[in-house]
Structure 1
């Protein structure tokens, strides 16, 4: 069975009618795919459709909707202004849509950063294996520990030439944890607290965060696993929107250019079924409490 759950009838960022079970679908590891939910740009806004809109040596522009700050952009003032306007509108649209589609989460969802990804994935050399998103991985952030939070991401392909965003997805998270848990090494004593004190991490890295980051690295570094595990290719069409929990959906990106992305955070305790969270699943493989130590 495909990981994709299609919602063909959704065409508005404020839909009047949505399915009743979208939260359950996400928690079970599905990618909710809305092929007819487009994010439109005006003729004037089309100027941002260029890889040079981002700063040199950057692959993404980043917008923080919580303080209205834009970063990672080129020096062109006009482009900066236009991109700021568009990304602010996308963040608001994504938030409204998430609240409509996921009413059981609406009061608990917090808005993270927005990104615009105008650089072609295919042919781009990653600086290291750990930063190579062409390899299957689950999301975990070195400097931003999630603690009890899930990572929910909404994507919209705005490629003007009709090119899809090509993903691959791997095995379910419970199988992933079963496969790799014994290979994940415990942290060096005191290192996580020192990292917080020195500002290397924005907050305390729990054992859960440590093991999730170790899982991210171990998956990417295991070439035999990458080459042998069953994978589902996904061609995510230009104009389409999709969302999933990227901390539990094993995914890789092969190609694509011009993508908007909005990150949300949700405490795993606010899920319909917290037992399906990576926090709960990883906990079954370790004796120490992963969220309090």
Structure 2
């Protein structure tokens, strides 16, 4: 971990690249092809983040089957569409229409049964789905969701060029501060989508003990201070050390990447497919409730 000084002269620890989790090809739903980094294998989680999937294809055969009705319990899903058009429906009668640049933030809580189906027959479908764990005290709360169109997501232009979309949390740079579209959650997630011109630097202040990772989906990055940077390639999740500052440089061309950080829950995680609870008994109860049609009962 390297240190630098802030505007007040105090030493600030810059996070280093601690571990790399490459995205691996897989499929989900009714055969949607995607790449999974966080959550791709046992031990590849980063509390409170359970999974990050990236989907990107110009071939409708890779995505048109979508994600028909399926259940969730015990966590939140965040679907961010870069390109394309996807429709959401759930057992509560909610319907959402995700278009390019939009986000759907869904809290499964006690239980939700929903579908996510592409509404295009051709063209590019590209985006991400992130799973964020819920604390034990919130796993059985009522389900709900929020659709956030692109126009409602704050965007900051960076002084050195590039821009940042603030999906969740608070943008905290030496020159800029901006609140995101989602705030006030227990895990206090930070979710940024950053575009950087070649050779420029993005430096962001974070809580020292929050877990954080960076995911470049276009281009390559250098992580850490100028004295000892490490390199991160496209489609690799870079797990960061503790520290008060994340410093990222676009390496060898323009880069686009996600920055994610959150308050760790430090609770047991037991997962069985779409159910994420704290104990095996709670998982068995979730399966029982689903099989008996009471997963979503109040």
Do the two structures share a fold, i.e. TM-score over 0.5?
no
Higher relative contact order (CA 8 A, sep 6+): 1
Please report the TM-score for the alignment, with normalisation by the length of structure 1.
Answer: 0.31
